[in-house]
Every structure is written in structure tokens, then in C-alpha cells.
Amino acid sequence: MEPQTTPEITPEYIKQLIYSILPEVLAQYREDRERAFYNQLLDRLIRLEEELKALRIEMNIRFDALIKEMNTRFDAVIREMNTRFEAQKQESDAKFEAINARFEALTKEMNTRFEALTKDMNTRFEAQKQESDAKFEAINARFEALTKDMNTRFEALIKEMNARFEAQKRESDAKFEAINARFEALDKRLSFLQWLMVFGFTFISVVITLLNFFK
């Protein structure tokens, strides 16, 4: 039996040996790089989605807190205005009752004097009564004017508060819609980027496969 001859180690032999091993090494290297790149990209996309969810939750919490604060302030203003209106109304009623009491006392006194005095006193009483009626009408007129003024101011204040609240609500709605639009645009960009990357990786894989096949 003849001994097995060892091939002669020449540059040509080394070149052929390298060419025979190189495709497997390159294929394994490409596979490892692609796997690592896919894993890294997937991790980044997961972290980005989690950050977007956290940002949306935070914006919703802030928006709810702003709405609650606005409602609380508006309720406090309404309660304060009602309290002031009731206090003013009670004060006006008390003054009007005091005036009525004074007029009642004056009427009783005038009736007592009417019973005690003569016809001349009756004439003076009629003059005094006319003067009192005029004063009472003047007081009523002032009270009516004050009531109208208070109602006008209160209605103007209510309209102003409603207008401010509506303006603040429209501004908040506009900001929230702008934030939603930005999130939707970002989602569209991410979706487009994912599809573009998948297409690119697919195209590169096909090209690499064709190159390996034609070798």
C-alpha cells in the first residue's frame, strides 16, 4: 500500500484553500451582522414606541389636570359672584326695610297729629305727605336704577367669564389637536421608515443571494 502524499503547499494551493473557505466565512459574518442589526433596530423601535406611549399618557394627564383646574377656578368665581350678589341683595333689602319702617313710623306719627290737630294741620299734613311721597318715589327710582346697574354688571361679568372660558377651551383644543397631528405624522414617518427598511433589507438579501448564486 502506497503512503498518502501530502499536497505541496504553494501560493496557488493557499489561494484555492482561501477561496474555498471564504464564502462560508462571509456568509456567516453577514448573517451575524444582519441578526445583530435587526435586534438593535427592534430594540430601538420598542423603546421609541414605549416613549411615545408614555408621552401620550403624560399629555392626557396634563390636559385633564388643566381642565380640572379651569373648572375649579370657574366654579370658585361663580360662587364668589353669587355670594357677593346675595350679600348686596340682602344689604339692599335691609336698607329698603329700614326706609319702610321709618315711613311707617312717620305715617303713624302723622296720623296721631292728624287726630289731634285742626283743619289747618290737615293742610300741612297733606303737604308733608306729598313731600314724603316724592322722596319715597325718588328712593324707589334710585333703588330701581341700582338694581338695573347691578344686573347689567353681573350679566356683563357672566358674559366675559363665558367668553374667556370658551377662548381658553378653544386654545386648549387647538393645542391638543396640534399635538395629535404631530403624533400622527410621527407614526406615519415611522411606518414608512419600517417599510423602507424592510424593502431595503429584502433587496440587499436578494442581491447577495444572486451574487452568491452566480459565483
The pTM assigned to this predicted structure is: 0.27
Secondary structure string (H, E, C) spanning 53-86:
HHHHHHHHHHHHHHHHHHHHHHHHHHHHHHHHHH
d(C-alpha 208, C-alpha 211), whole Å: 5
Written as tens digits, the pLDDT of the chain (215 aa) is 444 455 556 667 666 766 676 677 677 767 777 777 777 777 787 888 888 888 888 888 888 888 888 898 888 988 888 888 888 888 888 887 888 888 788 888 877 876 777 777 678 768 878 887 888 788 888 888 888 888 888 788 888 888 887 888 888 888 888 888 888 888 888 888 888 888 888 888 888 887 777 65
